[in-house]
């Protein structure tokens, strides 16, 4: 559920940056295809430069800054995770595989039992 106390402030400058970023993004692909008669390396450089400009403009706007802050916070949280030791990871993987085999066996037996009851006993269809 969204926090109702959070206010999003979007200034004209941010909207302009996002608009220019979108225009640069579209221009990158347009330039790539419009330069079809040029050398491939020139087309790729034009594409990469315009995409770099688009990304740079996006990161300068408030949503881009929020994305950077979110990414930094996520990396900080991942560093706090205590990963299992190799032995523990192998044991847990073995338990999961064992459980999967047991469930497969159970479902197969259930399927064959229901097949026998329905087809052989109730309907009388012999295989």
Kindly report, residue by residue over 13-59, the tens digit of the pLDDT.
Answer: 889 999 999 999 999 999 999 999 999 999 999 999 999 999 999 99
Distance (Å, rounded) from C-alpha 51 to C-alpha 120?
A: 67
Residue with tokens 């006993």: 121
**Cβ-contact 72, 83 below 8 angstroms:** no
> What does pTM read for this prediction?
0.56
- Helix ranges (H only) for 1-127 are 12-34, 40-60, 62-80, 86-115
84-121 burial code (b ≥16 CB/10 A, e <16)? eeeeeeeeeeeeeeeeeeeeeeeeeeeeeeeeeeeeee
Say whether pLDDT at 100 is over 70.
Answer: yes
Cβ neighbours of residue 46 closer than 8 Å, sequence gap 6 or more: 28, 31, 32, 35
Per-residue pLDDT at 106 exceeds 60:
yes
Give mean pLDDT, residues 69-91. 95
Query: In whole angstroms, what is the distance from residue 20 CA to residue 122 CA?
Result: 71
Average pLDDT, the chain: 90
Dihedral (Cα; 17, 48, 44, 16), 10-degree rounding: 0
């Amino acid at each position: 559920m969204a926090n109702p106390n959070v206010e999003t402030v979007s200034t004209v400058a941010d909207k302009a940056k996002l608009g220019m970023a979108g225009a640069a993004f579209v221009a990158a692909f347009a330039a790539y295809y419009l330069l079809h008669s040029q050398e491939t390396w020139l087309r790729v450089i034009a594409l990469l430069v315009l995409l770099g400009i688009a990304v740079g403009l996006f990161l300068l706007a408030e949503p881009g800054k929020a994305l950077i802050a979110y990414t930094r916070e996520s990396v900080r949280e991942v560093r706090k995770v205590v990963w299992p030791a190799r032995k523990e990871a192998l044991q847990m993987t073995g338990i999961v595989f064992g459980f999967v085999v047991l469930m497969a066996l159970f479902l197969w037996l259930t399927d064959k039992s229901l097949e026998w009851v329905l087809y052989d006993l109730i309907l009388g269809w012999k295989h």
